[in-house]
Amino acid sequence: MPNPDATPASPQTTEEEFHFLADFIPQLVWITDPTGFHTYFNQRWVDYTGYTLADSVGPNMWNNLLHPDDRDRARRVWSHSLATGDDYEIEYRFKAKNGGYRWFLGQALPRRDAAGTIATWFGTCTDIHDQKLATDKLAEREGEFTTLADNVAQLSWMARPNGHIYWYNKRWYDYTGTDLATMEGWGWGKVHHPDHVQGVTTFVQQAWATGQPWELTFPLRGTDGEYRWFLTRAVPVHDEQGQLVRWLGTNTDVTEMRQLQEQLQNSYADLEAKVTFRNLDLEHEVQRLRQQVG
C-alpha cells in the first residue's frame, strides 16, 4: 500500500531507480525514438554486445551483431513495427563481444503521448538460447520418431487409457484414406467391416478395462474399398507410479498369411478326401467291421 505521507520522488531519484532496475533485470534493455534511433542501452547490453549507444549509429553495429541468416528478417519485422506501431516480437541471434551467437527473444512496445502518437519504443532482448536449443533438439527428436512411426511396415496408433485414439501414423491414413478428424476417438469403426465391427467393439471395450496387452484380428477397409485382414496388438504404457498413461497399437496386414493358411487347410482337407476316395471300398469295409465290433 502506498504511504500517503511519503514525499514524492524527485526526477533524479526516479531516473536512478529506472537505471538500477534496467541494469538489474536479466534482459538487454533498449529505448529508441519513434524513428528507431537508439537513445538508451542498459549495462547488460553493453556487457554482452560490447557496443555502446554511440556505436548504434549507422548499420555497422547491427550488421556485426545479428546473425547473417537473421538480418533481413529482423530488418523487415522492425520496419513493420516502426511503420504500423504494431508490437515488436522476434527471435534472432546476437553475437557476444567475446564471439559466438546466442538466441534472444526481442520484444518492444511503443509508448504513446496523449494524442496517441508514438513517443518512444521500449524494448528488451531475453536470452532464450538454452530453451531454443532444447526446443530444437526436441523437435528434431520428434521429427525422427515421426519418420520412424510413419515408415514402419504396420499401421500404428496411440490411445488414451480409456481407448480414445488420438494419433495414427501416416500408413494408417494412406491405407484407409481417412484423416484424424474422422478417426479421432472412436472413428475407427468407420473402416471396419459391418459384419465384424460389433464384435470388435465389444472385445476392445473389455480389453481397455483390463489394462493388459491384447491381440485381435479383424478386416479393415482400404482406399480401394476392399477389406484386408489385420492382426492388431495393443500394449499399455505406464508411468513411474504404475499408472496407465496410454496405449500403443499396431495393425499388421496378415491377409496373405491367412490366405496361405486357408490354402494349407484346404490342401489337407483335399488330401484327406482323396485318400478316402481312393480307399472308398476299403473304408466301407472298415466301417462295417467297426460296427460289428462295436
Partner 1 sequence: MSDLLLDVNLQQVPDAYLAGAWRVAHRVINRADPDSTLAQATSLLLSDEQLQLQAPTLNETGSWAVQRDELLNRPYLRLNFPAEEMRALVTRLRRTTDGARSQLNLYFSSGLEMQLDRP
Q: For binding to partner 1 (CB under 8 A), which residues are involved?
A: 270, 273-274, 276-278, 280, 283-284, 287
Cα–Cα distance for residue pair 122/39, rounded to 1 Å: 10
Cell readout for 120 is 518512444
Q: 123 or 219, CB closer to partner 1?
A: 219
Which residue's CB is nearer to partner 1, number 60 or number 287?
Answer: 287
Measured distance CA(167)–CA(184) in Å, rounded: 7
- In the bound complex, what is the minimum distance in angstroms from residue 263's beta carbon to partner 1? 11
Pick between residue 25 and residue 271 the one whose CB is nearest to partner 1: 271
User: DSSP E strands: which ranges in 170-263?
Assistant: 214-221, 227-238, 244-253
Nearer to partner 1, 164 or 274 (CB): 274
Beta strands in 141-277, from DSSP E residues, in sequence order: 155-159, 165-168, 214-221, 227-238, 244-253
Least Å from the CB of residue 139 to partner 1? 48
Smallest gap from Cβ 277 to partner 1, in A, equals 4
Give the nearer residue to partner 1 in terms of CB position, either 26 or 225.
Answer: 225
Q: How far apart are CB 280 and partner 1 at their closest, in Å?
A: 6
Q: Under a CB-based contact definition with an 8 Å cutoff, are residues 91 and 77 in contact?
A: no
Least gap, CB of 210 to partner 1 (angstroms)? 38
Question: CA–CA separation, 42 vs 70, rounded Å?
Answer: 23
Eight-class DSSP state of 164: -
CA-nearest of 78, 58, 82 to 70 is 78
